[in-house]
């Protein structure tokens, strides 16, 4: 298997198959390159999506505004598109958040209200602060709980430094770096034990504080980089849960710990709009001329967390597919197979939108020739896999051999690879044995700086990488549509082995989607 993989990678990336100039025997490939590289609309579309529409939290007005923009954009290009409801979700509107330190000195703090949190009715609410106590057991926590009333409760571990580890590795003496690691590890362990002794889970703790009359919950989830935090969702619905930057959380924590009388003022405008707000996937379609009941799909999730603009998670995947469809509409208007684009909602809550689509459209799953999904940042595609389909690799290698070396020289083709287990929406298809293929991108510090963070903004997108991915995707879709054969679906034998020690024991099973907030919470 290793030799086969190496041979196929060599044949795909080597000079004998792809010259330095674009192939001249396929005018469609040439036109895709020209359109995508010379007249790209990718960054123009990205600017509208991230700056004007902004974050796209499931159930929010922002994602619905984005769904409607997608439909209107496709229709301008003459592509049929629709918003297809797959369920309902909690409706929530984010307004202004302002967090200020009022005592012992005045400072405006960097932070935000977490998604699906209660607010303050848009009015400033002052309160003193208290640290989650170090109690011997749950009885001690219950005895302490009344003292949380009227207070902002600090519930996160205070980082000893908000300077990234890379700085210490570069500049600190070895003993300084080692000391920091040891002290931080021990302090973090002690904090986790403190949380455990309360007897509360991470989900239950905010609710207990809310019921006890706390003024708010204060958290900080540092992402190990300069000025960057992970931003997720709250549990409280009547009081605010706020996330503070690593630096400002440390400031408030130290003031509280040293009895220096910190007072916070939180102004948070947020509105719940019911638990039954419709949620949608946006689906675009160009009907096939020869095999309309067979499908090639472009796939990316459209929803995002809303601590920032959702640029690389997953605006880049969204624009890759949108721009690829624009290019195909220009140069390949009459595909042999039907081309679909799935812009999925609810991915961040467990691939809900795409799983619902496969449940609602078994005909697409049956007729799927190939699905190409991208969802890990702005980087150029460098990993491509047959997703555990043992006889599909020869087709992927053949398709890549038709593409410009300017693109394929970056790509590592993995055969047969492994099926996605649930990290992104291609998993919703490969679990059925349908060819749900992932386009894995170069890192660009995605995990630290943009994945689910407050820094996932337009400026983090790398234009050349985005153009590369849109052109690659358009070419793959064209070749999959034209391929005379149906992609075979024989599955590899799963389970750990010498060549594949990290393989899952079985083929991933398909999960039933939660189509409402109630089902999700259960």
Q: In the structure, what pLDDT confidence band is assigned to residue 16 with cuts at 50, 70 and 90?
A: very low
Q: In the structure, what pLDDT confidence band is assigned to residue 501 with cuts at 50, 70 and 90?
A: confident
Residues 352 and 417 in one domain: yes
What DSSP character marks residue 458? G
Residues 246 and 359 in one domain: no
How many angstroms separate the CA atoms of 29 and 20, rounded?
Answer: 14
Q: For 322-376, how does the pLDDT look when each residue is reduced to its tens digit (9 = 90+)?
A: 999 999 999 999 999 999 999 999 999 999 999 999 999 999 999 999 999 999 9
Predicted TM-score (pTM) of the model is: 0.93
Question: What is the per-residue pLDDT for 506?
Answer: 93
Q: In the structure, what pLDDT confidence band is assigned to residue 6 with cuts at 50, 70 and 90?
A: very low
Residue 344: strand pairing partners: 301
Question: What is the per-residue pLDDT for 172?
Answer: 98
Among 272, 288, 308, the domain boundary falls at 272
Residues 466 and 341 in one domain: yes
Among 272, 306, 331, the domain boundary falls at 272
Write out the E strands in 110-173: 111-113, 124-131, 152-154
Question: What is the per-residue pLDDT for 496?
Answer: 77
Residues 399 and 287 in one domain: yes
Chain mean position to CA 157: 25
Residues 289 and 262 in one domain: no
Residues 155 and 179 in one domain: yes
Residues 188 and 287 in one domain: no
Question: What is the per-residue pLDDT for 170?
Answer: 97
Residues 196 and 311 in one domain: no
The verdict on whether omega for the bond into residue 104 sits within 30 degrees of 0, i.e. cis, is yes
Question: What is the per-residue pLDDT for 500?
Answer: 67
Question: What is the per-residue pLDDT for 521?
Answer: 86
How many angstroms separate the CA atoms of 383 and 413, rounded?
Answer: 6
Residues 247 and 365 in one domain: no
Residues 180 and 318 in one domain: no
Closest Cα to residue 367, out of 293, 450, 262?
293
Total structural domains within the chain: 2
Q: For 507-519, how does the pLDDT look when each residue is reduced to its tens digit (9 = 90+)?
A: 999 999 999 999 9
- Domain harbouring 126, CATH code: 3.50.30.30
Q: What is the mean pLDDT of residues 270-285?
A: 97
Phi/psi of residue 287, each to 5°? -70, 140
Residues 78 and 178 in one domain: no
Residues 232 and 168 in one domain: yes
How many angstroms separate the CA atoms of 89 and 235, rounded?
Answer: 15
Question: What is the per-residue pLDDT for 22?
Answer: 64
What domain range is 127 assigned to? 92-272
- Domain harbouring 48, CATH code: 3.40.630.10
Neighbours of 204 (CB within 10 A): 12
Among 220, 252, 272, the domain boundary falls at 272
As a whole-number percent, the residues of the chain with pLDDT over 70 amount to 95
């Amino acid at each position: 298997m290793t030799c086969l993989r190496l041979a196929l990678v060599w044949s795909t990336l080597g000079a004998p198959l792809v010259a330095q100039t674009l192939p001249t025997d396929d005018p469609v490939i040439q036109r895709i390159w020209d359109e995508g590289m010379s007249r790209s609309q990718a960054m123009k579309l990205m600017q509208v999506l991230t700056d004007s529409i902004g974050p796209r939290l499931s159930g929010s007005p922002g994602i619905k505004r984005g769904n409607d923009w997608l439909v209107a954009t496709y229709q301008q290009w003459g592509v049929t598109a629709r918003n297809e409801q797959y369920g309902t979700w909690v409706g929530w509107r984010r307004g202004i958040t302002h967090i200020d330190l009022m005592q012992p000195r005045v400072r405006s703090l960097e932070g935000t209200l977490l998604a699906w949190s209660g607010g303050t009715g848009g009015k400033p609410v002052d309160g003193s602060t208290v640290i989650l106590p170090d109690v011997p057991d749950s009885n001690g926590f219950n005895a302490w709980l009344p003292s949380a009333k009227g207070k902002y409760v600090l519930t996160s571990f205070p980082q000893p430094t908000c300077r990234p580890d890379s700085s210490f590795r570069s500049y600190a003496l070895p003993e300084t770096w080692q000391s920091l690691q040891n002290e931080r590890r021990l302090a973090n362990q002690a904090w986790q034990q403190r949380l455990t002794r309360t007897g509360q889970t991470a989900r239950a703790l905010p609710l207990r504080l809310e019921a006890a009359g706390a003024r708010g919950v204060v958290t900080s989830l540092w992402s190990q980089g300069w000025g960057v935090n992970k931003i997720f969702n709250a549990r409280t619905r009547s009081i605010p849960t706020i996330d503070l930057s690593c630096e400002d959380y440390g400031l408030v924590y130290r003031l509280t710990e040293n009895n220096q009388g910190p007072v916070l003022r939180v102004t948070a405008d947020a509105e719940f709009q019911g638990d039954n707000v419709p949620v949608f996937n946006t689906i675009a379609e160009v009907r096939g001329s020869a095999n309309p009941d067979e499908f090639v799909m472009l796939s990316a999730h459209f929803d995002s967390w809303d601590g920032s603009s959702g640029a690389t998670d997953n605006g880049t995947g969204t624009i890759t597919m949108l721009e690829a469809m624009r290019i195909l509409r220009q140069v390949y208007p009459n595909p042999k197979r039907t081309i679909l684009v799935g812009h999925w909602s609810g991915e961040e809550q467990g691939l809900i939108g795409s799983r619902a689509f496969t449940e609602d459209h078994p005909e697409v799953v049956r007729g799927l020739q190939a699905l190409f999904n991208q969802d890990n940042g702005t980087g150029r595609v460098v990993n491509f896999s047959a997703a555990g389909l043992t006889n599909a690799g020869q087709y992927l290698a053949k398709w890549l051999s038709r593409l410009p070396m300017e693109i394929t020289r970056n790509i590592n083709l993995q055969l047969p690879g492994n099926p996605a287990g649930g990290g992104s929406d291609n998993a919703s298809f490969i679990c059925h044995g349908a060819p749900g293929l992932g386009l894995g991108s170069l890192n660009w510090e995605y995990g630290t700086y943009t994945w689910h963070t407050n820094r996932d903004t337009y400026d983090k997108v790398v234009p050349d990488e985005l153009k590369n991915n849109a052109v690659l995707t358009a070419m793959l879709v064209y070749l999959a549509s034209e391929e005379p054969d149906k992609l075979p679906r024989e599955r590899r034998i799963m389970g750990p082995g010498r060549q594949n020690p990290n393989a899952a024991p079985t083929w991933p099973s398909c999960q039933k989607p939660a189509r409402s907030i109630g089902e999700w919470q259960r």
